[in-house]
Structure 1
């Protein structure tokens, strides 16, 4: 589900919200030592983002994360144009770009976890399984856990984050299985 603009933020009872970052929607799959980083359309992105592929050693095997690839500039603002420029780079050029302004993978959902298909689980249960992956494994860059909130005041506060490159927020049903954006 893609995000849509609404005139007034409305977090419905029984739902959760997450910031919508100005980046590329992506999925990372780790299975039997192989890592696949792909776009929402299935385009292979790993060669352009070697730091994310290398960082996948931190993830449990037979696990996939859904999220957003972002690049923050030195001022802490999302630099979408730098992210776009990364797509055409491969090999040494991609490695240099990763050293200059590394990409981060902001995870917002868990697909399989250690071989268990979670896609039929309600979002609340998937989120409850995703958070301990970050805590127990002490994930560090390039991984970031996307904030999630059920309080409307928190979501309204996120709307002030435009200066760092947040585009808005998206909402999901907290109790029913859903797809994001």
Structure 2
């Protein structure tokens, strides 16, 4: 692996696309299933984001022991209305941002990943994003990846490798996962 390869932790959650436009929040699975009604805390948290912004990420739920609770996340999908609101209080979801697809109306998908990642980090810092938002850890250092992989599991599926110079890809083709 060269320093031209981006590495990030892969969480045990649901991949999701989030879009904020003129106060309207759309939260969908990668296959297009509408998920916003099941995750009102994510929709409410979108007020922290800039308008005309879109993110690629993963929805996760932590349990009391600080581990990812995939079964709790699965149970959240079928809930709507008051049931979803109660579930969001008991088992709040977080949106782990993996990539920036649009920023203030500018399509960023053609940018190299290095530039998109820097812009995403800048959004997190400038907006001081907090729960339900989380920025996926990343590194270009192989030693850091080895450390991630030797830690006690907290629900991580592995590590994803992407080229820093690549444009956004809507599928996982071209990515490597360990």
TM-score above 0.5, yes or no = yes
Corresponding residue number in structure 2 for 1:141? 131
Question: What is the aligned partner in structure 1 of residue 52 from structure 2?
Answer: 62
Counterpart CA distance in 1 for 2:166 and 2:153 is 33
Please report the RMSD computed on the Cα atoms of aligned residues, expressed in angstroms: 1.1
The worse-fitting range, judged by mean Cα deviation, of 153-162 and 51-60 is 153-162
- Which of 93, 100, 105 does residue 103 from structure 1 map onto? 93
1:163 Cα deviation after fit: 2.0
Moved over 4 A (4+): none
2:21 pairs with one of 28, 31, 43: 31
Residue 88, structure 1, aligned to residue 78, structure 2: yes
Deviation at 1:162, TM superposition (A): 5.0
Distance in structure 2 (CA, Å) of the matches to 1:37 and 1:90? 14
Alpha-carbon distance between aligned partners in 1 of 2:104 and 2:49, rounded to the nearest angstrom: 9
Query: Which of 115, 126, 135 does residue 125 from structure 1 map onto?
Result: 115
From 2, 14, 34, the counterpart of 2:4? 14
Q: CA separation in 1, counterparts of 2:2 and 2:138? A: 14
The CA deviation string for residues 112-165 of structure 1, in whole angstroms up to 9 with x for no partner, is 100011000000000010001000100010000001100001111111345211
Q: Where does structure 1 lack aligned partners over 5 or more consecutive residues? A: 1-10
Query: What TM-score, normalized to structure 2?
Result: 0.93
Q: Unpaired runs of 5+ in structure 2?
A: 173-178
Match of 2:30 in 1: 40
**Is the CA contact 1:110–1:126 (under 8 Å) kept in the aligned structure 2?**
yes
Contact 1:26 1:69 in 2 (8 A): yes
Instruction: State whether residues 172 and 178 of structure 1, in contact with CA within 8 Å, keep that contact through their aligned partners in structure 2.
Output: no
The TM-score normalised by the length of structure 1 is 0.92
- 2:17 aligns to what SS in structure 1? strand
State the Cα deviation string for residues 51-79 of structure 1 (Å, max 9, x = none). 00010000000000100000000111000
3-state DSSP of counterpart to 1:136: helix
